[in-house]
Structure 1
């Protein structure tokens, strides 16, 4: 039951930061027992890495969808560009689902 500092993000996720104090159960110098307890929690106003990636992908997806809608409204003659744009939209949606799945698995494993 060694003590570590914790960083909590605005989105609710958290991670371990620095080692704070060794417990009495571990007798070897420089070793920890493997159980982690929170010493101090530092609150961050930013989101975690996964949430930031998801947010960036959503912005890219939104911009691509707006571009595709504009081309359709204007009677697009750029059929190849529209097809490429639709493919990009599908890839972004897949990446977003994958990142959300990864974030949910991380929360479930730690919760």
Structure 2
């Protein structure tokens, strides 16, 4: 039951930051007992690293979709360019799903 500071992000995710102080149960010098308790919570106005990556991928996907829709509407691009853009959108979707799964797994974990 050693105490650590905690950082809570705007998205609801959190992370451990610095060590605050040792509990009375650990008798060895320089050691911690292994149990982490929150000493102080520092609220951040920014998103966590994973949420920032997800938002970046969503913005890129949106730009690709806008470009694809414009090309289809105007008929100004070659079919190869359209296929390449569709492939890029599918890859972005897969990366977004992977990052969301990673974020959900992290939120379910205790430490």
In 2: Cα distance, 1:18 partner to 1:109 partner:
19
Matches within 5 A, 1:28-107: 28-107=28-107
Q: CA RMSD for the aligned pairs?
A: 1.1
3-state SS, counterpart of residue 5 of structure 1: strand
Deviations 1:5-60 (A, max 9, x none): 00000000000000000011111111100000000000000000000000000000
Q: Which moved more, 1:49-58 or 1:75-84?
A: 75-84
- Runs of 5+ in structure 1 lacking a partner? none
Q: TM-score, normalised by structure 2?
A: 0.96
Q: TM-score, normalised by structure 1?
A: 0.96
Tell me the residue number matched to 1:109: 109
Task: Kindly report structure 1 stretches of 4+ aligned residues shifted beyond 2 Å.
Answer: none
Count of aligned pairs between the two proteins: 111
3-state SS, counterpart of residue 66 of structure 1: helix
- Runs of 5+ in structure 2 lacking a partner? none
Q: Which moved more, 1:77-86 or 1:95-104?
A: 77-86
Tell me the residue number matched to 1:11: 11
